[in-house]
Amino acid sequence: MRLDVWLWAARFFKTRALAKQAIEGGKIRIHDGTGKPAKLLHIGDRLRIARGEEQFEVDVLALAAQRGSTAVAQACYRETEASRTARMQAAERRRLAGAGYTRPPTKPDKRARRLIRALGDIDAL
């Protein structure tokens, strides 16, 4: 089975095109090596998947050529325990980093936007 098709069927990416871009961009590693979108995937392969800020390390348990429900997709792989704990810790760090920030209640008005732009121009000099 093709790697890009499996990543799409296992619901790591919304489209095959996004899966292909990730593979070509080096975001997907098979047994710590790079691959092509048409690389054949086998049961037992270990994949490292970088999707945004999330890092997954999964073992392939089944090959699915069609995209199905979430339950079917999750049956195709098993995430390693180390990967799961690292992902949870990173999510907690991101949550705590943004804990002190509060969004303004409204958007800035025209005058405030001009002032913000003017301050940005000062920093560029």
Summarize the confidence of residues 3-14 as an average pLDDT.
95
Q: Which fold has domain 3-120?
A: 3.10.290
- For residue 100, the model assigns a pLDDT of 80
* pLDDT of 123 higher than 70: no
Give the count of beta carbons closer than 10 Å to the beta carbon of residue 9.
23
pLDDT digits (tens, 9 = 90+) for 31-81: 988 889 999 999 999 999 999 889 999 999 999 889 999 999 999 999 999
- For residue 121, the model assigns a pLDDT of 66
Summarize the confidence of residues 80-103 as an average pLDDT.
90
Residue 111 — very low, low, confident or very high, per pLDDT cuts 50/70/90? very high
Q: 64, 52, 62, 59: which is closest to 80 by C-alpha?
A: 59
What type of residue is 11?
A: R
* pTM for the full predicted model: 0.76
Domain spans in the chain, listed from the N-terminal domain onward: 3-120
Whether the CB-CB separation of 45 and 67 falls below 8 Å is answered with: no
* Percent of the chain whose predicted confidence (pLDDT) is above 90: 70
CA 27-66-28 angle, 5° bins:
10
Q: Which H helix or E strand runs over 39?
A: none
Question: Rounded CA gap, 95 and 100, in Å?
Answer: 10
Question: Rounded CA gap, 21 and 122, in Å?
Answer: 38
- For residue 122, the model assigns a pLDDT of 61
- For residue 125, the model assigns a pLDDT of 47
Summarize the confidence of residues 96-100 as an average pLDDT.
82
- For residue 103, the model assigns a pLDDT of 82
